[in-house]
Amino acid sequence: MAGKNEGPAIGIDLGTTYSCVAVWQRDRVEIIPNDQGNRITPSYVAFNETECLIGDAAKNVVARNPTNTVFDAKRLIGRRFSDSVVRNDALLWPFKVTCGANDKPMILVTYKGAEKQFTAEEISSMILTKMKEIAEAFLGCGVKNAVITVPAYFNDSQRRVTKDAGIISGLNVLHILVEPTAAAIAYGLNKKSSSSMVKNVLIFDLGGGTLDVSVLTMGKSTFEVKSTAGDTHLGGEDFDNRMVNYFVQDFNRRHKKDIRDNPRALRRLRTACERAKRNLSFMAHTTIGVECLYGGIDFESTITRAKFEELNMDLFDECIGHVEKCLKDAKMGKKSIHDVVLVGGSTRIPKVQQLLQDFFNGKVLCKSIHPDEAVAYGAAVQAAILTGQGNHEIQDLVLCNVTPLSLGVCVGEDEMFVIIPRNTTIPTKKIEWFTTSHDDLTRETVKVYEGERSRASDNILLGAFVLSGFPPAPRGVVQIKVCFDIDTDGILTVSAKEKTTGVTNNITISNVKDITSKDEIERMLKEAARLKLEDEEQKKKFEAMKSLKNYVYDTRATFWNSTLPVADAKKIERELKSAIKWLDEHEFAEAYVLEKKRKELESIWDTFFKKV
């Protein structure tokens, strides 16, 4: 737990499409606006010849610089390049994704004239750095501690990598909080004064890239997760993709031209589709219009809400399927749910709301919390609790989360033996005894898996370690105790001990091949520091150039408004023209060169105008 003297702790909702940051102060949560005055910030990072842009500035240039503007990085977090979802997404993104070491997806961009590769956690760390800076500007002091949220259905690898991204951004990550629980905190505090009864609440969180469904039992001060379900690859981006594909085919049918090989045209079309999707939440139909979309052809078409729903109906049905699964795992019926709470921007889609309401036999859906801000709100409350900065209203809150997927080991040839079933309340500790599978073994490999498949190889390998040094014996004689221990962040430690000799070994799931190693984090920290230094130097250049230009053009304005002798006037006019030409020729000059030039001009012009 962080101390009170370490400054304010913030809550960050690191989203697929947008991110949000909040802080607890003056006995309430403040959602912090960014430098554009917006309460949510696009999860975009853009690279160009001179600088790295993050947030609104990056999204504003995406149509002009599509191949070097990265978004949806959260969809790559903790995944392998060989995953089919990564391959499919890569076909839709304008930027390149390549295979790095250990099957890790690497994002390829051109930055300052050179080709650079970034991991998903590095891109995420840049967004987290931006959120940290937004908070620091608002609070007027440095920020060190943060609670970061993740989808409930993120596996152990994805949670760990998200924590790594926080470390790379310079934050002390107090806790990794699952998004539905964070939203439940926002809902619970909002309803706390109106009712003290125990309620079963279903949180339906449909965002830009992920779907989370969680059932919680909420008492006066207790939030206990009963079950969770969802998909880390289902959200608003997928609905956009369906619309983009529909209009790509429409354009091809009309003009016999395929725009899929033109990243800029695709990006402009996607932006128009995103706008249309939002419009269809309150309109029966809307128009898509993009000037000079491809080959000088203007594109305009109409889409109705009914067509949009038809394009995405299978995805909407999938969402309801996860609700059914979540209720089944919680061993609850529809009538047991007191409230259905909507979270995430994509819950604004009327068809999603209708299907959900129909599923719950006409129950009125709860829209009392802000769908875009609720998760950051809950994270800020948790941050205040962990740092002892909250008031009595929140300090007695108790959060009980569950494991999203089953955890176990490989036994026999390829059997998944589950030690911790999914939806087990955490923190938790479970022990199982095993024996050797062959005669005269002196070592045994413990492979740790996560997933629901009966074959271990069909699940996610989290890590492995070797227990060795026990004496050879017939099969089934050697007894090995395996212990699974999950902390409050959902991070797993596995240990094994041979009974007769006491030989032990263990692994914390953090340094296996598909998760960021300490050396890799160190490299990323250095890279982040270098990029920050470069950005600061670039900022100095911009400021120095701005100062010099203002001085030259202000001097020219003063000259135009003055009455000088002809000879003096001609001399000043020549010098002004020379200075303006110098500015055009030294657009990318270093800050010290620009500052030196200003001092030279000041020494000449200021003295001259004083004489006059």
| Catalytic residue list | 13, 74, 179, 205
3-state secondary structure 53-80: EECHHHHHCCCCCHHHEECCHHHHCCCC
Burial of residue 5 (CB within 10 Å: 0-12, 13-18, 19+) is exposed
Query: Hey, what are 117's tokens?
Result: 């590769």
Query: Hey, what are 307's tokens?
Result: 């067509």
Q: Are strands 28-31 and 199-206 parallel, antiparallel or unpaired?
A: unpaired
Are residues 123 and 130 in contact, defined by beta-carbon separation less than 8 angstroms? no
Query: Rounded distance, CA 194 to CA 244, Å?
Result: 45
Angle at 70 between CA 118 and CA 521, to 5 degrees: 25
DSSP assignment of 7-48, as one string? ---EEEE--SSEEEEEEEETTEEEEPP-TTS-SSEE--EEE-
Residue of 176, 197, 117, 141 lying closest to 25 (CA atoms):
141
Residue of 40, 45, 33 lying closest to 13 (CA atoms):
40
Helical ranges in 71-178 per DSSP H: 84-92, 120-139, 156-168
Query: Rounded distance, CA 447 to CA 460, Å?
Result: 10
**Is the dihedral angle over the CA atoms 205, 207, 211, 212 positive or is it negative?**
negative
Helical ranges in 330-387 per DSSP H: 350-359, 374-386
Residue of 264, 360, 279 lying closest to 320 (CA atoms):
360
Residue of 243, 305, 309, 316 lying closest to 280 (CA atoms):
305
Query: Hey, what are 514's tokens?
Result: 């598909």
Angle at 52 between CA 50 and CA 54, to 5 degrees: 145
Query: Rounded distance, CA 302 to CA 283, Å?
Result: 12
Count of CB atoms situated within 10 Å of the CB of 416 = 23
Query: Hey, what are 183's tokens?
Result: 């939203």
Residues 6+ apart with CB under 8 A from 474: 439, 440
**Is the dihedral angle over the CA atoms 315, 317, 320, 324 positive or is it negative?**
negative
- CB burial readout 161-194, b (16+ within 10 A) else e: bbbbbbbbbbbebbbbbbbbbbbbbbbbbbbeee
Are residues 456 and 449 in contact, defined by beta-carbon separation less than 8 angstroms? yes
Query: Rounded distance, CA 236 to CA 310, Å?
Result: 15
Under DSSP, is residue 269 helix (H, G, I), strand (E, B) or coil?
helix
